[in-house]
Chains A and B, each alone.
Chain A
Amino acid sequence: MSGSAVMMMIVAMVVVWGGLIASILFLRARPKVDDTLLEDPDMVREDTARLHEPHPTRDL
């Protein structure tokens, strides 16, 4: 492979795969915000109802 091709490949890998690793590490380090947000129980109830609607992309 030519030098410029190797360079572009490394740039792509560092930015994209490095970004993936960095964002996973960041998420592991700071998985959630401080528990200062208090939810209205009505909203929690509404969310729970919505949880019962099947959806392929909702979190488990």
Chain B
Amino acid sequence: MASTGSTAVAPETRDTWSSPSGFILAAIGSAVGLGNIWRFPGVAFESGGGAFIVPYLCALLTAGIPILFLDYSIGHRYRAAAPLAFRRMSRPTEALGWFQIMLSFVIAVYYAAVIAWSMSYFVYSFNLSWGEDTLAFFTGEYLKVGDPGVSATIVPSVAIPVVLVWVAVLVVLALKVSDGVQKVTVVFIPLLFVAFAGLVIRAITLPGAMDGLNALFTPDWSALSNLNVWIAAYSQIFFSLSIAFGIMVTYASYQRRKTNMTTSGLVVAFANSSFEILAGIGVFATLGFMAHQQDVAVGDLEGLTGPILSFVTFPAVINQMPGGNIFGAVFFGALIMAGFTSIISILLGVAASVQEKFGLSRTASAITVSAVCAVISIALFSTTSGLIALDTVDQWANNVGIITSAIVMTIVVVWVVRKSGVLNRHLNAVSTFKIGRVWVVLIGVLAPIFLTVMLVDKLISLIGDGYEGYPQWYLALFGWGTIAFVVVAALILTAIPWKGRDNKDFVAWPDVDEEVER
């Protein structure tokens, strides 16, 4: 770490610029998470295969990167986690910051469960203890999935790793070893790329691999007229880039004032998607191998989506693969490590917000936040209803929550508090990749219109058709209930008087306000 030695500052002698590679690797560590490995391949396959590439690239270029820049600019200019950053931009928008932070909170709660499952499967992969019928093992023997409902039946084989994840999180936060996590990230992200590249090379040399890639990339153009496919693409980009739920605002706030934000942002966004494409190729080459073994078409394989893909289909492939246990250990090891660095950064975003609002110490707020998360997480996801709860919460938090957050944020910034000009000039003042009016058009017009159309369509489908055939009362509780919880919590947290770090003398830097209407 540079410049942590002395607090006696001699500005003229200090290099306030950081090494771009450190900044970028750390940012990629935060962006590359479960979304890339666990979520992308299944979403791509069920949303039109090769045709999904079109909405995916559109989402990346027209909304993903512009909104990443928006998150960066707010955090970097107002130098605080989401609630305080929004409050400094314009006081009433604090509530939006809390809405985003509460979404992070919800995501952290179920993220831990997926990491826990990966831990179990990492162990299982050494002797392939999931047996021949991997679906029966995952939903039956391992998770003991019951009917949708509120279950109090603890499943010890799941509860233990979930508790372990939270213990690890609390230890990391309590011992203030997050500096260590930061260092681990810098070592680990290149390692993850190398390990995963090895996995992909192994996968594409398997018989049938090309059929898998064919299934992934063959375009089903009719999918493009299906709004759900577009929604899936946008929410995948948002979830995967960790944008519009407060993480990147917090993240940018910790960067030095002179940091090349947009250029680094481009590297981060493309690296994240590069990893995602790599994961898609690896996963589908592997699925092609499985289809080849079973002598069926890839499209006829069952369980290519969501958790089933990682925890049912993949183990089945590993069973048939020469050297499968090493392959399995690398795959689940990658899931654990990618997930763990991301959950720490999600929780620190929440913790930083609580710390700033209530004036707690950093450690106290980190531990309080994680303890609350841990209790909810253990209660919800170590029981027989864990998988169904996770599936439902994931659906609503991402496809309703994050999309809504993005719409509200873009409209509020551009049209209500009218800060897009200032933020645009801010980014240009510190960055070498200059963004023009196109950026304002993208975040102010195109993104909100597009996202609103998609959100309305999604809402109609969720209200009309429900989700996965789960009972309506269940969706009301865990789906809509999640959104209601986030909104109510955001309003309460906003209403509580500000006790912590809200420096009245705060001055945004650099001074780019001249063209601003006052």
Contact = CB atoms under 8 A, between A and B. Distances in A.
Interface of A: 1-2, 4-6, 8-9, 11-13, 15-17, 19-20, 23-24, 26-27, 30-33, 37, 39-41, 43-45, 47-60
B9 to A, nearest CB: 5
Q: List 8 tightest A-B contacts by C-beta distance, closest first.
A: A59-B23, A60-B22, A8-B50, A20-B270, A30-B432, A23-B266, A5-B217, A19-B270
Of B176, B182, B183, most buried by chain A (CB within 10 Å of CB) is B182
B19 A59 contact: yes
Contacts of A60: 1-2, 18-19, 22-23, 26, 182-183, 186
Given A23-B270, A60-B18, A54 B182 contact: yes
B158 interface: no
B459 to A, nearest CB: 30
A58 B264 CA distance: 13
Contacts, number: 177
23 contacts: A4-B218, A9-B213, A12-B57, A12-B277, A16-B60, A17-B270, A17-B277, A27-B264, A27-B267, A39-B257, A43-B257, A44-B9, A50-B79, A51-B4, A55-B178, A55-B182, A56-B181, A57-B29, A57-B251, A57-B254, A59-B259, A60-B18, A60-B26
Contacts of A2: 214, 218
B260 A31 contact: yes
Main secondary structure of the interface of A (DSSP, over half): helix
Contact of B267 (A15, A20, A30): A20
Main secondary structure of the interface of B (DSSP, over half): helix
Of A44, A56, A57, A59, most buried by chain B (CB within 10 Å of CB) is A57
A50 B3 CA distance: 11
A55 to B, nearest CB: 5
Interface stretch (B106-114, B340-348, B390-398, B408-416): B340-348
Interface string B176-219: 10110111011000000000000000000000001001101111
A59 B213 contact: no
Given A16-B270, A23-B266, A26-B263, A47 B217 contact: no
B9 A37 contact: no
A57 B30 contact: yes
Given A2-B218, A60-B22, 7 more contacts: A6-B217, A12-B217, A16-B274, A30-B432, A37-B430, A51-B1, A56-B182
